[in-house]
Structure 1
């Protein structure tokens, strides 16, 4: 049985490693060095300045979701455990706490874009991200 709780400082390293390992596979169209050089910033800037919750199963962190106000900044699930409902549980957990959520998803990450569409997110716009040069969608969900 999974549970969701707020990220604790002692778990930041575990969450950063999960983010890194998932990112290099999900975003294989971006150099792994890009993700590696952002690990320190993830640990020291992004996670401490976001509202982050972790999904736990059998005492292990298997996924997490990070929000900055109404922006879904990150949602990642262990590569081996994807497609089993953890991402949906994390997203529904946040949906209960927001009336609107926006996020950015790389266009080439079709698995993720399709997931968000299946969770009632609508595409608002398409932009080119400066750092990677990749196109991304701005997507939005609004509580009905």
Structure 2
């Protein structure tokens, strides 16, 4: 079930999911960087984004955060990958917004495969300033 993010209620679960998913998909960034970003997720990104959560058996297992038509983040508890939950969150966002864009690290093979299967196409490559890593800017629909 998809629900609207509840500030102050869902924060701990969202940060925990973000940490576990980032350690899997963004291991190349290093543990210090990932751990340091957790506070930004809670205090900077969540308050400025429109976030929806997805629940399985009364447990928050994933979320998508939008900044207008930009997907700021799509993360699932790794134990729930491959169940169509990421697609459900993306379908909900597309139904509400139509066109979506996002950035994904070139080294994030997991994310790149998901977005390619969904139908996103790369429109630009650049270097992410905070990390120095290359990112692809993607758009849906193409």
Cα deviation for residue 33 of structure 1 reads 0.9
The reply on whether 1:119 has 2:113 as its aligned counterpart is no
- How many equivalent pairs are there? 141
Instruction: Report the secondary structure of 1:111's partner residue.
Output: helix
Cα deviation for residue 130 of structure 1 reads 1.1
The reply on whether 1:5 has 2:3 as its aligned counterpart is yes
Distance 1:82 1:8 in 2: 23
5 Å-filtered alignment, 1:1-144, equals 3-9=1-7, 10-142=9-141
What is the aligned-residue RMSD (CA, Å)? Answer: 1.1
Does structure 1 conserve the Cα–Cα contact (< 8 Å) formed by 2:25 and 2:109?
Answer: no
Unaligned runs of 5+ in 1: none
Cα deviation for residue 99 of structure 1 reads 2.1
Cα deviation for residue 58 of structure 1 reads 0.7
Distance 2:112 2:37 in 1: 23
Unaligned runs of 5+ in 2: none
